[in-house]
Amino acid sequence: MSALAPAGIAAKVTTAFADVQAKTTDNGQPFLLVPAAALPAVARFVRDDATLRFDAVMDLTGYDALKYPSTPSSDAIVVVYLLFSYQHRHKLTLKVLAPRSECAVPTMSGIWPAAIYFEREVWDLLGVHFSGHPSLRRIMCPEDWVGHALRKDYRYPDDYHGVLHLRDGQHFESSPPRGAVPVAVPPVAAPPGAVPPAGGAA
């Protein structure tokens, strides 16, 4: 058991795969940007390599980069693979860009079975198609739901089986714009030993 530093892991992967780029996020978190086509090979490599052994998926998620100020490409869904090695106890973040026009990424369910469920969720909420997935169905929304809710250009459907998605005759998105709600300030000014709202001391 020997944990590798993020730089060491990145070096190992980038030497093995020329088209993988080591990058950092705006706040300095390292990640590897993997082209979708190379993903299965990279994944298998990081799982099977004796010094890496990323045997677990901590999380597999994504976000729509459409409105994010600075990402490599703003017209893509970013699929994020947060990997962890129980053997070496180190972490790795892989990112794959799935362009909105052709939103597909190879499935990881054959490499980490945990991905079966995670990928279903990403498909349901972000609309990334995982090619080769054994049962890529929606998981949260009903099967006949239109659209993928976590996309930044998502628009609530006007109705679902006759149930109108209107509030006071208006569409959801036209009700108060976000940011109109005042910022809640945590109760820093509460006096010490303040009596909680209910109950009271015994």
Partner 1 sequence: MTIEAMTPNGERMTLNMGPHHPATHGVLRIVVESDGEVVATCTPDHGYLHRSIEKIGECIDWPLFVPYTDRVDYVCAMNANLAYCLAVEQLLATDAASAVKVPLRGECIRVLVAELNRISSHLVAVGAMAMDVGAYTPFLHAIAQRELVNDIFEKLCGQRLTYNYVTIGGVAFDLYAQASEEITRFLDQFEREMVRFNKLITTSTIFRDRCASVAPVSAAEAIAWGLVGPNLRGSGVDWDLRRDESYGLYGQLAVRVPVGQCFAGRHGKVGDCFDRYVVRLLEIQESVRLCRETLKLLPPPAVKANDPTGGYQADVSRQLKKPPKGEVHCRTEAPRGEMGYFLVSDGTKVPYRVRCRTGSFSAAGIFHKVMRGIFLADVVTVIGSFDIVVPEIDR
Q: Which residues bind partner 1 (CB under 8 A)?
A: 25-29, 55-59, 61, 63, 67-70, 80, 82, 86, 89, 93, 112-114, 116-118, 121, 125, 138-142, 149-150, 178-179, 181, 183-202
Minimum Å gap between C-beta 15 and partner 1 is 25
Of 118 and 123, which CB lies nearer to partner 1 in the complex structure? 118
Minimum Å gap between C-beta 88 and partner 1 is 12
CA atoms within a 13 Å half-sphere pointing along the CA-CB vector of 30: 13
CA distance 148 to 142: 11
Minimum Å gap between C-beta 144 and partner 1 is 12
Of 26 and 168, which CB lies nearer to partner 1 in the complex structure? 26
Minimum Å gap between C-beta 116 and partner 1 is 6
**Sheet with 21-24, edge to edge strand ranges:** 21-24, 30-34, 91-99, 76-84, 56-64
Are the C-beta atoms of 97 and 36 separated by less than 8 Å? yes
b/e string for 155-167 if b means 16 or more Cβ within 10 A? eeeeeeeeeeeee
**Which of 89, 97, 95 shows the shortest CA–CA distance to 73?**
97
CA distance 197 to 188: 16
Are the C-beta atoms of 147 and 155 separated by less than 8 Å? yes
Minimum Å gap between C-beta 22 and partner 1 is 16
Of 142 and 169, which CB lies nearer to partner 1 in the complex structure? 142
> Please, what is the angle between helix 39-48 and helix 6-16, to 10°?
130
Minimum Å gap between C-beta 69 and partner 1 is 6
Of 104 and 149, which CB lies nearer to partner 1 in the complex structure? 149
Of 18 and 198, which CB lies nearer to partner 1 in the complex structure? 198
CA distance 109 to 118: 9
**Phi and psi at residue 4, to the nearest 5°:** -100, 150
Of 50 and 188, which CB lies nearer to partner 1 in the complex structure? 188
